[in-house]
Chains A and B, each alone.
Chain A
Amino acid sequence: MQSIADAFTLALQLVLSGNADLFEIVALSLRVSLTATFLACLCGLPLGAFMAISRFPGRGILLVLMNALMGLPPVVVGLLVYLHLSRSGPLGFLGLLYTPTAMIIAQTILIAPIIAALSRQVLEDLHMEYAEQFRSLCLNQWQTVTALLWDARYSLLTVGLAGFGRAVAEVGAVIIVGGNIDHLTRVMTTAIALETSKGDLALALALGLLLLTIALGVNAAVQSLRMSARRQAYV
């Protein structure tokens, strides 16, 4: 219990001290996870939209697969990416292992299925409402998908948040492909893991509180955006 009280004080001190190392770690966490979320949306949303509006043989199996991939263990993703990016792996020549780029790639792979599966559900519900009208207008698939994506944009923000939440909170993948190198690939979660392994539980918990606060901030920002959208009846 002592550690928890310490952690709150420590977290406050860390923030107030304006520690440059801490700022660097927080900034990298945000950069890596936000970029990964953006890239995962870039692939996941069109895939989700396509799955939402099309019917083809094997679609059911693909849906099950997509939903199952939401539970992809970060460590497994980390290992897969490591094996590819390792200098002895097929993409080793790129020299990407132990860089923030490698971490972005791993997190993108980790959360793209989440974005795809959740957006599929959101867009399929919306499509139920729009489908007949759209068919009457003779819209092609591209027009349908873009209209659905645009009209569901505020709901999809929540989907993006789910992806971001998983990315920013995971440690298994980034610690393998990033290596938790100080001033290069150290992010909030790997720093927490490191402090835990050093037995500095209060500092680890303080960092955890900061991470929680950041996640809270991002969520609050998106929530306020959604609220204003709801007032416009765009949700």
Chain B
Amino acid sequence: MRKGTTTQMSEHDPVLEVTGLTVEFPGVRALDDVGFTVARGEVHALVGENGAGKSTLLKVLGGVNTPTAGTVVLDGNPYSPAKPHDALVAGIAVIYQEFTLFPDLTVAENVFVGREPVVAATRGIRYGVMRDECRRVFGMLDWEIDPDARVGDLSVSEQQLVEIAKALSVEGQVIVMDEPTAALSHSEVARLLDVVRRLRDEGRSVIYVSHHLEEVFEIADRATVLRDGKHVATLDIASTTEDELVRHMVGREVSSVFTREPGVPGEVVLGLDGLSAGRILRDVSLDVRAGEVVGIGGVAGAGQTELTEAVYGALAARRGSMTLHCERYAPSSPADALRAGVGFLHEDRKSAGNLPHLTVAQNVTITILDRMRGVARLLSFAKERETYDSYRSRMRIKASSPAQLIGQLSGGNQQKVLLGRALAPGGDLLVLNEPTRGVDIGAKAEIHQLIGELTKSGVAVLMVSSDLPELLGMSDRVVVLSQGRVVGRLDGDERTEENVIACATTGRRIGVAA
């Protein structure tokens, strides 16, 4: 391997040793023979792309997932938690990205949930003890939080601290943080990193998962890179660079994904000027031209969803403006967008795409019901059938009949039905969010081909994808978002996986000085 794969520190005083860890789910190997060690008093970063296996690893440590093979040794003893509570008792506290707090309970009640100190005789909770212990822990963090405050009233960063306090109150040896800064403001991030340093100085170990490499370089001693469930490298932060880390994270040969022939872009179809919407999308400007695919990249939750929903009228723009064919475009609802011919595909097929009680044909025509009227302005089943048949043959939807319920189809075929719904308005702008998420390889290729055909006929496509080969293979231009802002515009040869990841995690291209 490369330099720094092992260091002296881990050999000195390992607190956690992971060897040969493998986790298999039906049909997927989420972790494959992963091994690394965490030293006492070390901040150990864990980095990798979406789907690299970080979350699975954390869940093994937290007692949520059980490994298929491999061992974990904690403080010299074998560690195999059967449930999350075992992990806590053994001294590993995992702080998940989605908090496990109860918003209607107080801070103290949350810190001690499931292990409240009680009076032996009556089983009554000793609130005094809980409050004192809370104050002690928060004192250690040099942070003032009222133990009797309702957790739901706290800010996100304060809630994060409650989670940390929970970990500290069990005298956790290893504290695992999953994307702890994802929801924090700039100053809050600084305070959190300060807390992490304090924990390290007390001799505790911290496993720090983050997409933001600058944080990793600011706080971590070493970093372990995972890719496709495998351990790639463990590097000393002091002797590596952001670029090297990014190369390890990608490291993939250009895959055999369908590559769209770049067309000749026509005139501007959609124009965004300084668009701000929702809680995070800020000041986004971009154009989408006829016959091209503009890809939107970034780590999860960087504002991609808000961008697509704002264009579709499902999220109100707070500032900025949009144009469609050079005319002012300000949809106040999806119905407005549909009238303007904008087609939309939501990323969450199951809860925001499928209409489970409607047939496949009805799922396609729901966006264009007014065009399905026949005799006496009533719905014409013949017209619906005809519309559905045209999309079925065009997208090779496999369904036994137009009257089949959409839930009975495979994921790929459901997606094709929903793509049919997006195409039905018949305009020349398509907004596609994760068009191939959760579909099989065959359907994926067919969907890619369809997008290629559409752009050839002059349709403009705005596509969000967290699948890098797809994003790069399908897009003429890639716009990278980070925390709601455009941090990179990649054209031509700049469209590389390294650049997308570098922009998303550090805000700049690879090889470019900060």
Q: Do A and B bind each other?
A: no
Chain A contacts to B: CB under 8 angstroms: none
Chain B contacts to A: CB under 8 angstroms: none
